[in-house]
Structure 1
Protein backbone atom coordinates (compact mmCIF):
# COMPACT_ATOMS: atom_id res chain seq x y z
CA UNK A 1 0.00 0.00 0.00
CA UNK A 2 1.15 3.54 -0.67
CA UNK A 3 2.03 6.28 1.74
CA UNK A 4 -0.13 9.35 1.05
CA UNK A 5 1.67 12.62 1.67
CA UNK A 6 0.65 16.22 1.27
CA UNK A 7 2.84 19.33 1.21
CA UNK A 8 2.02 22.89 2.22
CA UNK A 9 1.97 25.15 -0.86
CA UNK A 10 3.68 27.95 1.07
CA UNK A 11 6.64 26.30 2.82
CA UNK A 12 6.65 22.75 1.44
CA UNK A 13 6.21 21.17 4.90
CA UNK A 14 5.35 17.49 4.29
CA UNK A 15 2.35 16.05 6.12
CA UNK A 16 0.83 12.58 6.19
CA UNK A 17 -2.85 12.09 5.41
CA UNK A 18 -4.75 9.16 6.82
CA UNK A 19 -6.81 7.23 4.28
CA UNK A 20 -10.28 8.74 4.14
CA UNK A 21 -9.32 11.84 6.12
CA UNK A 22 -9.97 15.33 4.83
CA UNK A 23 -8.35 18.69 5.31
CA UNK A 24 -10.83 20.80 7.22
CA UNK A 25 -11.57 24.41 6.35
CA UNK A 26 -9.80 25.77 9.45
CA UNK A 27 -6.66 23.58 9.23
CA UNK A 28 -3.34 25.40 9.01
CA UNK A 29 0.26 24.37 8.40
CA UNK A 30 2.11 23.50 11.61
CA UNK A 31 5.28 25.17 10.31
CA UNK A 32 4.19 28.44 8.62
CA UNK A 33 0.52 28.72 9.71
CA UNK A 34 -0.72 29.01 6.10
CA UNK A 35 -4.28 27.93 5.36
CA UNK A 36 -4.37 24.36 4.04
CA UNK A 37 -7.93 24.30 2.65
CA UNK A 38 -7.14 26.71 -0.19
CA UNK A 39 -6.93 26.63 -3.98
CA UNK A 40 -3.14 26.37 -4.08
CA UNK A 41 -3.31 23.10 -2.11
CA UNK A 42 -6.11 21.65 -4.25
CA UNK A 43 -5.56 19.03 -6.94
CA UNK A 44 -7.79 21.07 -9.29
CA UNK A 45 -5.63 24.22 -9.04
CA UNK A 46 -4.00 25.09 -12.37
CA UNK A 47 -2.76 28.62 -13.07
CA UNK A 48 -3.00 28.01 -16.83
CA UNK A 49 -6.77 27.47 -17.03
CA UNK A 50 -9.84 29.70 -16.67
CA UNK A 51 -10.35 30.83 -13.05
CA UNK A 52 -7.19 28.81 -12.24
CA UNK A 53 -9.36 25.75 -11.53
CA UNK A 54 -9.85 22.54 -13.52
CA UNK A 55 -13.14 21.81 -11.73
CA UNK A 56 -15.70 23.35 -14.08
CA UNK A 57 -18.52 23.61 -11.52
CA UNK A 58 -16.53 25.35 -8.79
CA UNK A 59 -17.30 28.97 -8.01
CA UNK A 60 -14.61 31.59 -8.60
CA UNK A 61 -12.33 32.24 -5.61
CA UNK A 62 -10.41 35.51 -5.53
CA UNK A 63 -7.68 34.69 -3.00
CA UNK A 64 -6.10 31.39 -4.04
CA UNK A 65 -3.81 31.18 -0.99
CA UNK A 66 -6.52 31.75 1.66
CA UNK A 67 -9.02 29.34 3.16
CA UNK A 68 -12.25 28.95 1.26
CA UNK A 69 -15.47 26.99 1.42
CA UNK A 70 -15.24 25.22 -1.94
CA UNK A 71 -17.04 21.87 -1.80
CA UNK A 72 -14.86 20.50 -4.61
CA UNK A 73 -11.59 20.84 -2.68
CA UNK A 74 -9.37 17.76 -2.81
CA UNK A 75 -5.88 17.82 -1.36
CA UNK A 76 -3.08 17.68 -3.90
CA UNK A 77 -1.41 14.50 -2.68
CA UNK A 78 1.65 12.51 -3.62
CA UNK A 79 1.75 8.74 -3.30
CA UNK A 80 5.04 6.96 -2.65
CA UNK A 81 5.02 3.22 -3.24
CA UNK A 82 7.08 1.16 -0.82
CA UNK A 83 8.21 -2.46 -0.81
CA UNK A 84 7.20 -4.74 2.03
CA UNK A 85 10.65 -4.14 3.49
CA UNK A 86 9.85 -0.43 3.65
CA UNK A 87 12.40 0.67 1.03
CA UNK A 88 11.19 2.87 -1.87
CA UNK A 89 10.63 0.95 -5.07
CA UNK A 90 12.99 1.80 -7.87
CA UNK A 91 13.03 -1.54 -9.72
CA UNK A 92 10.75 -0.22 -12.47
CA UNK A 93 12.99 2.82 -13.00
CA UNK A 94 16.09 0.63 -13.18
CA UNK A 95 14.43 -1.66 -15.71
CA UNK A 96 13.25 1.33 -17.76
CA UNK A 97 16.73 2.90 -17.74
CA UNK A 98 18.33 -0.41 -18.73
CA UNK A 99 16.24 -0.43 -21.92
CA UNK A 100 18.09 2.63 -23.20
CA UNK A 101 21.64 1.74 -22.18
CA UNK A 102 24.14 1.26 -24.97
Structure 2
Protein backbone atom coordinates (compact mmCIF):
# COMPACT_ATOMS: atom_id res chain seq x y z
CA UNK A 1 0.00 0.00 0.00
CA UNK A 2 1.40 3.37 -1.01
CA UNK A 3 0.73 6.09 1.54
CA UNK A 4 0.66 9.61 0.15
CA UNK A 5 0.03 13.00 1.70
CA UNK A 6 -3.72 12.76 1.05
CA UNK A 7 -4.12 9.12 2.17
CA UNK A 8 -6.66 8.71 4.94
CA UNK A 9 -7.88 5.93 7.20
CA UNK A 10 -10.96 4.24 5.74
CA UNK A 11 -12.43 3.85 9.24
CA UNK A 12 -11.90 7.26 10.88
CA UNK A 13 -10.81 9.51 8.00
CA UNK A 14 -7.65 10.74 9.75
CA UNK A 15 -4.47 11.13 7.67
CA UNK A 16 -2.14 8.13 7.44
CA UNK A 17 1.09 9.90 6.47
CA UNK A 18 1.85 11.27 9.93
CA UNK A 19 4.97 10.91 12.07
CA UNK A 20 3.11 8.80 14.61
CA UNK A 21 2.58 6.12 11.93
CA UNK A 22 6.18 6.19 10.68
CA UNK A 23 8.76 3.50 11.31
CA UNK A 24 11.35 6.19 12.10
CA UNK A 25 9.27 8.02 14.72
CA UNK A 26 11.03 7.88 18.09
CA UNK A 27 10.01 10.20 20.94
CA UNK A 28 13.49 9.88 22.46
CA UNK A 29 15.38 10.85 19.27
CA UNK A 30 16.42 14.33 18.14
CA UNK A 31 13.37 15.96 16.48
CA UNK A 32 11.57 12.73 17.51
CA UNK A 33 12.87 11.02 14.35
CA UNK A 34 15.64 8.48 13.73
CA UNK A 35 16.32 10.02 10.31
CA UNK A 36 18.53 13.08 9.79
CA UNK A 37 15.96 15.81 9.13
CA UNK A 38 16.87 19.30 7.89
CA UNK A 39 13.73 20.72 9.49
CA UNK A 40 11.65 19.06 12.20
CA UNK A 41 8.03 18.16 11.63
CA UNK A 42 6.23 20.14 14.33
CA UNK A 43 2.83 18.44 14.35
CA UNK A 44 3.42 14.69 14.57
CA UNK A 45 -0.28 13.84 14.19
CA UNK A 46 -0.92 15.84 10.99
CA UNK A 47 -0.20 14.85 7.39
CA UNK A 48 3.23 15.92 6.15
CA UNK A 49 5.48 15.75 3.10
CA UNK A 50 8.44 13.96 4.73
CA UNK A 51 10.49 12.00 2.17
CA UNK A 52 11.67 9.52 4.83
CA UNK A 53 8.17 8.28 5.72
CA UNK A 54 7.77 4.50 5.88
CA UNK A 55 4.60 3.06 7.39
CA UNK A 56 5.47 1.16 10.56
CA UNK A 57 4.66 -2.52 10.57
CA UNK A 58 3.53 -2.87 14.20
CA UNK A 59 0.87 -1.07 16.15
CA UNK A 60 1.45 0.81 19.38
CA UNK A 61 -0.55 -1.86 21.20
CA UNK A 62 1.82 -4.57 19.93
CA UNK A 63 4.86 -2.53 20.99
CA UNK A 64 3.44 -1.94 24.46
CA UNK A 65 2.65 -5.65 24.82
CA UNK A 66 6.21 -6.63 23.86
CA UNK A 67 7.64 -4.02 26.26
CA UNK A 68 5.48 -5.34 29.09
CA UNK A 69 6.53 -8.90 28.28
CA UNK A 70 10.21 -7.92 28.29
CA UNK A 71 9.79 -6.11 31.60
CA UNK A 72 8.02 -9.13 33.09
CA UNK A 73 10.80 -11.48 31.95
CA UNK A 74 13.44 -9.13 33.35
CA UNK A 75 11.80 -8.98 36.79
CA UNK A 76 11.30 -12.75 36.81
CA UNK A 77 15.10 -13.09 36.80
CA UNK A 78 15.16 -11.59 40.29
CA UNK A 79 12.05 -13.32 41.60
CA UNK A 80 12.61 -16.18 44.06
CA UNK A 81 9.31 -17.92 43.24
Pick the TM interval, shorter chain.
0.5 to 0.7
In the alignment, which residue of structure 2 is the partner of 1:31?
11
More strand by share: 1
Structure 1, unmatched stretches of 5+, are 1-20, 79-102
Structure 2, unmatched stretches of 5+, are 59-81
- 1:58 is displaced (CA, Å) by 5.2
| TM-score, normalization by structure 2 | 0.65
Counterpart-to-counterpart distance in 1, 2:5 and 2:52 = 12
Structure 1 segments, 4+ long, off by >4 Å, are: none
Equivalent of 1:42 in 7, 15, 22: 22
Aligned residues: 58
- Structure 1 residues 58 and 30, CA, compared in 2 at 3 Å: closer, same or farther? farther
Counterpart-to-counterpart distance in 1, 2:33 and 2:25 = 5
More helix by share: 2
| TM-score, normalization by structure 1 | 0.52
